[in-house]
């Protein structure tokens, strides 16, 4: 079985795939650069056992991380607790199978590249991938799956937190879909501005990307808040919360076959 690890700025996701590509277990932890391999290993071993899995059944591991400080402990985790060396997205020995058509390919986040791979494997191309994470990223692939670039905007929760911290009288609110755009109190107004304003930004950027691309490419939404926005906009054609993990599995299989 494969242990796939997606280390984002806010959370790190651990998932176990069986040999047929089915996710047998998936867990999420806060990303902490100072968390040791032993701390993660004990926590993960317990969760594996709760799902009827044994850490000795893990025969391979792959990591995508946008937090470089986590890589050492995650690699050590794979060696010490699973007895396998981890493949790492972005290293020369891991072939992701697509071309990165950018001025500086090395600057692209590992998660964005893995999303591109997962999107092409699952849905073909051309496609636009919107990932609702700490940042909301818009990534574009062509009809061959090659990565063309994209756009980065502040994430929804980051915007809420920034609004609260920068304004003395505005409270912190939870993201949700309000029924009305015109709020009747401060909390309703913030929720309306965040949700409907954010959705309008997403739809506007997608329209501009499609115009620049010259094709009405379908849009795939992923990340924790993807279902919330996808149910309110026909422009978000597919909602796939496991897209990054599927991309990691696809990259592993490609490199395993070589």
131: annotated binding-site residue?
Answer: yes
Exposed, middle or buried: residue 165 (CB in 10 Å: 0-12, 13-18, 19+)? exposed
186: annotated binding-site residue?
Answer: yes
Cα 178 to Cα 62, 101, 125, 183, distances in angstroms: 39, 40, 34, 9
Q: Could you say which of 19, 38, 93, 111 is catalytic? A: 111
Q: How far apart are CA 150 and CA 136, in angstroms?
A: 11
9: annotated binding-site residue?
Answer: yes
70: annotated binding-site residue?
Answer: no
Is the C-alpha dihedral spanning 109, 151, 198, 247 positive or negative?
Answer: negative
8: annotated binding-site residue?
Answer: yes
Q: How far apart are CA 215 and CA 194, in angstroms?
A: 29
Cα 50 to Cα 38, 46, 47, 79, 203, distances in angstroms: 19, 6, 5, 22, 41
Length of the chain: 258
59: annotated binding-site residue?
Answer: no
**Does the annotation count 111 as an active-site position?**
yes
242: annotated binding-site residue?
Answer: no
207: annotated binding-site residue?
Answer: no
111: annotated binding-site residue?
Answer: yes
Show which residues are catalytic.
111
Binding residues for substrate, by number, are 109-112, 186
Binding residues for ATP, by number, are 6-13, 134
Binding residues for K(+), by number, are 131
Binding residues, by number, are 6-13, 109-112, 131, 134, 186
């Amino acid at each position: 079985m494969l242990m796939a690890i997606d280390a984002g700025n806010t959370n790190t996701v651990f998932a176990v795939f069986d040999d047929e590509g089915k996710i047998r277990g998936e867990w999420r932890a806060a990303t902490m650069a100072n968390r040791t391999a032993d701390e993660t290993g004990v926590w993960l071993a317990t969760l594996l056992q709760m799902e009827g899995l044994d850490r000795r059944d893990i025969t391979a591991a792959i990591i995508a991380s946008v937090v470089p400080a986590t890589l050492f402990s995650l690699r050590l985790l794979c060696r010490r607790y699973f007895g396998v060396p981890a493949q790492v997205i972005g290293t020369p020995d891991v072939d992701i199978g697509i071309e990165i058509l950018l001025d500086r390919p090395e600057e692209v986040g590992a998660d964005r590249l893995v999303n591109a791979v997962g999107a092409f494997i699952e849905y073909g191309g051309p496609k636009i991938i919107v990932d609702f994470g700490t940042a909301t990223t818009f990534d574009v692939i062509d009809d061959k799956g090659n990565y063309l670039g994209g756009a980065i905007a502040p994430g929804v929760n980051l915007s809420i937190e920034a609004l609260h911290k920068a304004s003395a009288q505005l409270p912190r609110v939870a993201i949700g879909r309000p029924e009305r755009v015109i709020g009747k109190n401060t909390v309703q107004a913030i929720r309306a501005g965040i949700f409907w304003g954010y959705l309008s930004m997403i739809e506007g950027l997608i329209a501009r990307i499609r115009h620049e691309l010259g094709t009405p490419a379908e849009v795939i939404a992923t990340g924790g808040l993807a279902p919330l926005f996808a149910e309110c906009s026909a422009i978000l054609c597919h909602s796939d919360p496991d897209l990054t993990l599927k991309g990691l599995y696809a990259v592993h299989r490609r490199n395993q076959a070589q």
